[in-house]
DNA sequence: TAGCCCTATAGGCGTTCACTATGCATCGAA
DNA sequence: TTCGATGCATAGTGAACGCCTATAGGGCTA
């Protein structure tokens, strides 16, 4: 492999001759023969149709044209050096960018992951875009986004075409979430489907996947939920629930992460849903993208270990999960 | 001769591929085969140890590294283009510089020449340095100055060594100069050497060549000049003479160019002295230097014509003989 | 003027570049 | 799924270029 930067030989030689003010010494420094320099520089002069060096005197010196040419040549060389450094930075993950697509709910779940990523690679600018799952898949396939985080592992038809690949990060229980002032607060026993039907709920709009999960659950168990309120904003739901009058169904992690909200298991439980990482299959992955994938895996395994540890003492909170990953 | 700019093939190829988003089309545009591009770009990628192009999809696209590399590469290429333009400007004499050395008296004589040069080539910055003749010769030989204008054609020993060459621009009569209020003002008849001895004079200091001419003249004719004042400033002499009490000996051109001063011939006359252009022999001459030499010749021949036309008495002038320096 | 230092030129050799032919993967259509 | 079309990668050969040694020529110094 060349350690040398890609740059015209003739100009490099000219630089050396100008520096040493001598063909012979420059040839020594460059570890080439002196005639080689004469030849190369002559060619450069011919291609520019101008005399760059004045060889008449005792020592070689630059002509006016040589002076001005070298000024620019040095800058050009500097640019290519800068290019190499920039690339190196990119490889080092000390710079770069990551375009991340996620469904509207997953951002609550992966905010700690994003935070950890930024803490590790502060030079990489992350831009997150909320979009439906289908857009995520298309965006990844067409390289409009580098990586996506979606709410389900049931990929659309496009996924089959092996253009994208999906990795399950973790899966998540869907529980009833109530505020501390709610009548069910403090219930230890699981919530039955029948009881759920009587409970006034605040739910996401029907176009959200999570809502569709809930609807499917109710249909399967022959109940009609009492929907007191619908919204397309997760934060509205969280605040309403926190006030204590209405309940909702939320991923366990979101519910327990919020102050003043507690999570109550359902029986029978809703099917777990998965948080999935989506990226291109086979194509080029930027270093930042690779790093994000690796960090995500590490973060999830750490998260799993913490969760197992916490379950043994079932009453309380989970520790904040900032998985640290070494490069 | 190459019309193409000197720049690495591999980078040029990369630019083309990035532009056309296709190896095949880029190869067409570059008039090379497609495998050549594959090969060259692969080598570039290997030398940078990074993937620059993502060939996985339908169309070739740049990776992050390729994007950032191309940004710098374009700038580098732009610099080399700028270099070529700058050199072209230099050849065009729309830019450049000229270092001119002259003895303290010749500046009076060549000021119109300098003015004409600047009028023709306003982009060339001229720096004039006053220095003794010896320094001019050394300066030209050692390339500290591009061209010198001296007061005499008797070159020092250094001139013999063929490192410098001298061209006579014109020669100049040395006459008595008096103010209009001077007792001799209006004299038509030549001034004899004997009369000169009685005349109170203001002269240059003995270290000036002009002064040495005068001293030699006096010695040759056995007279002792009445030196009322000595100075090393030509402008002081001019002003003193203008006041009318003292006379001096000046090149005819200087005397007649000054308002309130008239020139009176001497009989026998002082030997004419020559205004000489000095430049390097054999070595590189900058375009600006060559242009100055050519303009000097033109200017002198024009000057000669004007002078011949002005002076009806044909005894006076001789033609300017200046061999022109070939490139 | 003789000798030394430095650059230019000549001719042979090896690497690199570019070409043709072919292989392999992807994409679109039957 | 299969087939043809498209597009990049690979192999192998010929030409061009870069680099070498040897030598010539020119300027500077003793």
Q: Which of A8, A64, A86 comes nearest B97 by C-beta?
A: A64
CA-based nearest residue in chain B for residue A82? B72
pLDDT over threshold 90, residue B264: yes
Q: Which of residues 36-95 of B touch strand C (CB under 7 A)?
A: 36, 39-40, 43, 56-58
Q: How confident is the model at residue B156 (pLDDT cuts 50, 70, 90)?
A: low
Q: A255 and A307: one domain?
A: no
- Judged by DSSP in three states, A123 sits in coil
Q: Is the CB of B282 under 7 A from strand C?
A: no
Q: Residue B65 and residue A90: Cβ atoms within 8 Å?
A: yes
Q: Residue B72 and residue A65: Cβ atoms within 8 Å?
A: no
User: Which of A5, A43, A79 to mutate: most B Cβ within 10 Å?
Assistant: A79
Q: Residue A79 and residue B83: Cβ atoms within 8 Å?
A: no
Please give, rounded to a whole number of angstroms, the shortest distance from the CA of A315 to a CA of chain B: 48
Q: A194 and A263: one domain?
A: yes
Rounded CA gap, A147 and A166, in Å? Answer: 10
Q: B217 and B239: one domain?
A: yes
CA-based nearest residue in chain B for residue A281? B56
Q: A153 and A88: one domain?
A: no
pLDDT over threshold 50, residue B324: no
Q: What is the pLDDT of residue A247?
A: 94
- CA R_g for chain A: 32
Q: Which span out of A111-115, B13-17, B152-156, B208-212 was modeled with the highest average pLDDT?
A: B13-17
Q: What is the pLDDT of residue A20?
A: 86
pLDDT over threshold 60, residue B288: yes
Q: B289 and B147: one domain?
A: yes
Q: A236 and A296: one domain?
A: no
- The whole domain housing A196 covers 174-271
Residue among A293, A275, A279, A234 at smallest CA distance from A152: A275
Residues of chain B positioned with their CB less than 8 A from the CB of A283: 54, 56-57
Q: What is the pLDDT of residue B161?
A: 54
Q: Is the CB of A42 under 7 A from strand C?
A: yes
Tell me whether residue B326 is in a domain.
no
Q: B255 and B200: one domain?
A: yes
Q: A16 and A130: one domain?
A: no
**What pLDDT, in 10s, does the model give residues B51-108?**
888 887 667 888 888 888 988 999 898 888 888 888 887 788 777 788 888 887 777 7
Q: What is the pLDDT of residue A224?
A: 92
Q: What is the pLDDT of residue A106?
A: 78
Residues of chain A positioned with their CB less than 8 A from the CB of B142: 57
Strand C: positions under 7 A of a protein C-beta atom: 6-11, 17-21, 26-28
Q: A151 and A23: one domain?
A: no
Q: B72 and B188: one domain?
A: no
Q: What is the pLDDT of residue B309?
A: 74
Residue-wise DSSP of B198-224:
HSEEEEE-TTSHHHHHHHHHHHHTT--
Q: Is the CB of A55 under 7 A from strand C?
A: yes
Q: Residue A72 and residue B83: Cβ atoms within 8 Å?
A: yes
Phi/psi at A293 (nearest 5 deg)? -60, -45
Q: What is the pLDDT of residue B186?
A: 86
Tell me whether residue B315 is in a domain.
no
Q: How far is the CA of A56 from the C1' of D26 (A)?
A: 10
Tell me whether residue B320 is in a domain.
no
Query: What is each CA distance from A236 to A129, A191, A239, A320, in whole angstroms?
Result: 20, 24, 5, 23
Q: What is the pLDDT of residue A218?
A: 93
Q: Residue B80 and residue A76: Cβ atoms within 8 Å?
A: yes
Query: What is each CA distance from B231 to A225, B182, B240, in whole angstroms?
Result: 115, 20, 11
Strand D: positions under 7 A of a protein C-beta atom: 7-12, 18-22, 27-29
Rounded CA gap, B93 and B99, in Å? Answer: 15
Q: How many domains does chain A have?
A: 3
Rounded CA gap, A183 and A261, in Å? Answer: 13
β-strands A124-130, B97-102 pairing = unpaired
Residue with tokens 């875009």: A129
Q: Which two tokens stand for residue A302?
A: 């750490």
Tens of pLDDT, residue by residue, chain A (327 residues): 445 788 998 898 888 888 888 888 888 888 888 898 888 888 888 888 888 888 776 678 888 888 888 889 899 989 998 898 888 888 887 777 888 888 877 777 777 888 888 888 888 888 878 777 777 887 887 777 888 888 765 555 444 456 678 888 888 889 999 999 998 888 888 889 889 998 999 998 887 778 888 998 999 999 999 998 888 778 888 888 999 999 999 988 888 888 889 999 998 999 888 888 888 876 678 888 889 998 998 988 888 787 777 665 544 443 333 333 333
**What pLDDT, in 10s, does the model give residues B114-145?**
888 888 888 888 888 877 777 788 788 777 78
| CATH at residue A183 | 3.40.190.290
Query: Mean pLDDT throughout B161-169?
Result: 76
Q: Which two tokens stand for residue B125?
A: 């910055």
Q: Residue A54 and residue B6: Cβ atoms within 8 Å?
A: no
Q: A35 and A61: one domain?
A: yes
Q: What is the pLDDT of residue B196?
A: 92
Q: How far is the CA of B157 from the C1' of D13 (A)?
A: 65
Tell me whether residue A247 is in a domain.
yes
Q: How confident is the model at residue B3 (pLDDT cuts 50, 70, 90)?
A: low
Please give, rounded to a whole number of angstroms, the shortest distance from the CA of B139 to a CA of chain A: 13
- Average per-residue pLDDT for chain B: 81
Q: What is the pLDDT of residue B323?
A: 35
User: Which of A21, A66, A67, A87 to mutate: most B Cβ within 10 Å?
Assistant: A87
Q: How far is the CA of B14 from the C1' of C30 (A)?
A: 38
Nearest nt by C1' to B22 Cα:
D7
Tell me whether residue A288 is in a domain.
yes
Residue among A151, A159, A96, A101 at smallest CA distance from A285: A96
Tell me whether residue A121 is in a domain.
yes
Residues of chain B positioned with their CB less than 8 A from the CB of A287: 64
Query: Angle, to 10 degrees, between the axis of helix B287-310 and the axis of helix B106-120?
Result: 120
Q: A192 and A251: one domain?
A: yes
Of B92, B121, B143, the residue that ends a domain is: B92
Tell me whether residue A134 is in a domain.
yes
């Amino acid at each position: 492999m060349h350690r040398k930067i890609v740059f015209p030989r003739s100009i490099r030689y000219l630089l050396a001759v100008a520096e040493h003010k001598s063909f012979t010494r420059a040839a020594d420094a460059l570890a080439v023969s002196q005639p080689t320099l004469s030849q190369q520089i002559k060619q450069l002069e011919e291609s520019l149709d101008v005399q760059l060096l004045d060889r008449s005197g005792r020592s070689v010196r630059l002509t006016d044209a040589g002076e001005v040419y070298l000024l620019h040549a040095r800058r050009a060389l500097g640019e290519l050096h800068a290019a190499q450094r920039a690339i190196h930075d990119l490889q080092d993950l000390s710079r770069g960018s990551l375009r991340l697509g996620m469904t509207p709910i997953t951002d609550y779940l992966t905010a700690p992951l994003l935070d950890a990523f930024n803490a590790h690679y502060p030079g990489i600018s992350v831009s997150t875009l909320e979009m439906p799952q289908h857009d995520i898949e298309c965006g990844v396939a067409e390289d409009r986004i580098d990586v996506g985080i979606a709410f389900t592992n049931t990929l659309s038809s496009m996924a089959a075409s092996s253009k994208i690949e999906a990795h399950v990060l973790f899966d998540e229980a869907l529980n009833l979430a109530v505020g501390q002032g709610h009548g069910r607060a403090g219930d230890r026993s699981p919530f039955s489907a029948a009881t759920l039907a009587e409970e006034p709920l605040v739910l996401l709009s029907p176009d959200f996947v999570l809502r569709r999960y809930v609807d499917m659950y109710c249909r399967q168990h022959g109940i009609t939920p009492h929907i007191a309120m619908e919204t397309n904003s997760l934060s509205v739901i969280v605040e309403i629930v926190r006030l204590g009058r209405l309940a909702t169904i939320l991923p366990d992690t979101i519910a327990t992460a919020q102050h003043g909200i507690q999570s109550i298991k359902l029986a029978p439980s809703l099917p777990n849903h998965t948080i999935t990482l989506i990226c291109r299959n086979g194509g080029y992955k930027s270093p930042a993208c690779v790093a994000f994938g690796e960090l995500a895996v590490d973060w999830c395994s750490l998260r799993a270990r913490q969760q197992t540890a916490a379950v043994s003492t079932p009453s309380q909170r989970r520790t904040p999960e900032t998985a640290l990953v070494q490069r």
